[in-house]
Amino acid sequence: MPPDLVLRPELPSDDDAIETLYEVAFGPGRFARTAYRLRDGVPHDTGTSFVADRNGLVIGAIRQTRVRVGGVPAFLLGPLAVAETAAKQGIGRALLTRCIEASRDTEAVAIVLVGDPPFYGPSGFVQVWDEILMPGPVERHRLMALPLKGTVAGPLLADAW
Ligand SMILES: CC(C)(COP(=O)(O)OP(=O)(O)OC[C@H]1O[C@@H](n2cnc3c(N)ncnc32)[C@H](O)[C@@H]1OP(=O)(O)O)[C@@H](O)C(=O)NCCC(=O)NCCS
C-alpha cells in the first residue's frame, strides 16, 4: 500500500466524499440492486466502515450494514470502491482486510456480499450459491460469504436488521 496513505474509521464529515466515490464507481443504478433493499433505511455500521485517506482526500471507502442471516447477526459488505486514479495499488484489498479484522471483534457470525469471486476469494470469501437467500434477484455466482464463527450452511434468509 502507498506509504502516504492512511486507513482510518469513517467520520460523518467523510459522507459527501464517500457518496461521490460510490456514484462514480457504481452509478445511480446502484440503489435498485437487491443489496440496497437490505441497506434501505438502515444506517451503515460505522464500527466496521473505513476510508483510505491520502492527505485529507478520501480515495477509497468500504462500508458494511448490519443484517440478519438465518435470524442471527451478520454483515452485508459494501459498497467498496477505490478512486480510478488510485486503482491497483493494493488499497481495495487493504480496506477489505481492515473491515474483516474489525468484523471479527463483533457478534456477527458472517460477512455476506454480492461481488466478484476473483477479488473476494483470496480474502477468504466463498461462493454460497443457494445457501443464502436474498430478498430479491442476485447473480447467484456472485453471492459470497465469509464465516466469522462456525460455518454458513443454509438455506438461510438474509434479512434487514
Ligand atoms: C474493485 C476495487 C475496489 C479494487 O480496488 P483496488 O484498490 O484497485 O484493488 P487492489 O489494488 O487492492 O487489487 C487487489 C487485487 O484484486 C484484483 N482486482 C481488482 N478488482 C478486481 C475485480 N473486480 N475482479 C477481480 N480481481 C480484481 C487486482 O488486479 C489485484 O490483483 P493482484 O493482487 O493479483 O495484482 C476497485 O477496482 C473499484 O472500486 N471498482 C469499482 C467498484 C467495484 O466494483 N467495487 C467492488 C464491488 S464487487
Of the chain, the end-to-end C-alpha distance in Å amounts to 34
Ligand 1 atom closest to Cα of 96? 12
Mutate to test the pocket of ligand 1, among 82, 97, 120 (most ligand atoms within 8 A of CB): 82
The CATH number that applies at residue 94 is 3.40.630.30
Q: Give the helix ranges, DSSP H, for the chain.
A: 15-26, 34-39, 91-104, 117-120
Q: State the cell numbers at 62.
A: 468500504
| Number of residues written out for the chain | 161
Taking CB atoms and a 6 Å cutoff, what residues make up the pocket around ligand 1? 25, 80-82, 87-93, 115-116, 118-119
Total domain count for the chain? 1
Per DSSP bridges, beta strands 57-69 and 156-160 are antiparallel
Residue 9 has pLDDT above 90, yes or no: yes
71 alpha carbon – ligand 1 mean position (Å): 31
Q: pLDDT category, 80, cuts 50, 70, 90?
A: very high
Mutate to test the pocket of ligand 1, among 89, 93, 96, 125 (most ligand atoms within 8 A of CB): 93
Q: State the cell numbers at 10.
A: 469513517
Residue nearest to atom 22 of ligand 1 (CA): 119
Residue 97 has pLDDT above 90, yes or no: yes
Residue 96 has pLDDT above 90, yes or no: yes
97 alpha carbon – ligand 1 mean position (Å): 13
46 alpha carbon – ligand 1 mean position (Å): 23
pLDDT mean over 98-120: 98
Q: Write out the H or E segment, with its range, that includes residue 156.
A: strand 156-160
Computed from CA positions of residues 92, 95, 127, 136, in that sequence, does the dihedral angle turn out positive or negative? negative
24-28, 43-47, 132-136, 149-153, range with the lowest pLDDT = 149-153
Give SS3 for 45: coil
Which pLDDT belongs to residue 26?
Answer: 96
Tens digit of each residue's pLDDT (9 = 90 or more) over 26-54: 999 999 999 999 999 999 999 999 999 99
pLDDT mean over 76-104: 98
Domain that holds residue 33: 5-160
Q: State the cell numbers at 119.
A: 477479488
Q: Mean of the per-residue pLDDT values for the chain?
A: 96
Provide the CA 29 distance to its chain's centre, in angstroms. 17
78-89 burial, b at 16+ Cβ within 10 Å, e below that, comes to bbbbbbeebeeb
